[in-house]
Amino acid sequence: MEIDGQSALVFGGASGLGAATSRALHERGASVVIADLNAEKGEALASELGDRARFAEANVMESEPVEAAVAAAAEAEGGLRISVCCAGIGWAQRVAGKQGPHDLEIFHNVIKVNLIGTFNVLRHACSVMASNEPDEGGERGVCVNTASIAAFDGQIGQVAYAASKGGVVGLTLPAARDMASRGVRVMTIAPGLFDTPLLAALPEEQREALGAGIPFPSRLGLPEEYAELACHVAENTMLNGETIRLDGALRMPPK
């Protein structure tokens, strides 16, 4: 799919991986709806990008705001063609420890945001994409989800996070098969250690140590590198129903 001239939607699009993706899609000529909970950052990014960019305040856990953000992107000529979901949260707690069993409400919330929230975006995006006019190759749209290498190499304390991201990996192929007859592709990117706001709070020494543990390149990933892959997924029609690890060959140890 040619990105230039298409309408795109990025959830979690105001910071980190999502902001880099919003910028990359916009630079390639897409009209971008930046959906996020943080109105201040979202509006600032939309203002920075200027024409062909606007902000939509939305929580991935709520159906109506997600549906409204999808509808806003679908208003563009040709309809919504590219949807990227980067929204997510993390949490660290063991199944059982000195303080007792893992907090069930926290586990539920991580699953709700990372897995159910991702599916909420996916179902609404796929629904509107299915009514688009197909391009010359029969394609109507592409959805890119965000998992994590924790889905495969979950560490001690990552039971909730790894379960939520493993669910995103698990839904990718059946969702792609569901939408194949409508010409809508579904893909997932599983990033490793990236230089995002989540890691920005760590001391520089600790950040450098994390990067040094990556085989090559021995540094934290850049949000722009995630964005480059998301754009390539949109452009390469043969990519469908798969999860791509973006991790510099990192395999996480138990802790």
In the block, which residue shows the tokens 């105001």?
14
Distance CA 38, CA 14 (A): 7
Degrees, nearest 5: CA angle 126-130-136: 120
The helix or strand, by DSSP H or E, that contains position 43, with its residue range, turns out to be helix 39-49
Q: Answer yes or no: 226 catalytic.
A: no
C-beta atoms surrounding 179 within 10 Å: 24
- Contact assessment for residue 114 and residue 153, using Cβ atoms and an 8 Å cutoff: no
Catalytic residue, candidates 11, 91, 161, 194: 161
b/e map 58-85, b = 16+ CB within 10 Å: bbbeeeebbbebbebbbebeebbbbbbb
Q: Exposure of 253 by Cβ count < 10 A (0-12 exposed, 13-18 middle, 19+ buried)?
A: exposed
Residue 128's alpha-carbon distances to 10, 99, 143, 179, in angstroms, are 15, 46, 12, 12
Amino acid at the residue 204: E
- Contact assessment for residue 195 and residue 220, using Cβ atoms and an 8 Å cutoff: yes
Q: Exposure of 6 by Cβ count < 10 A (0-12 exposed, 13-18 middle, 19+ buried)?
A: buried
Which residues have a catalytic role annotated? 161
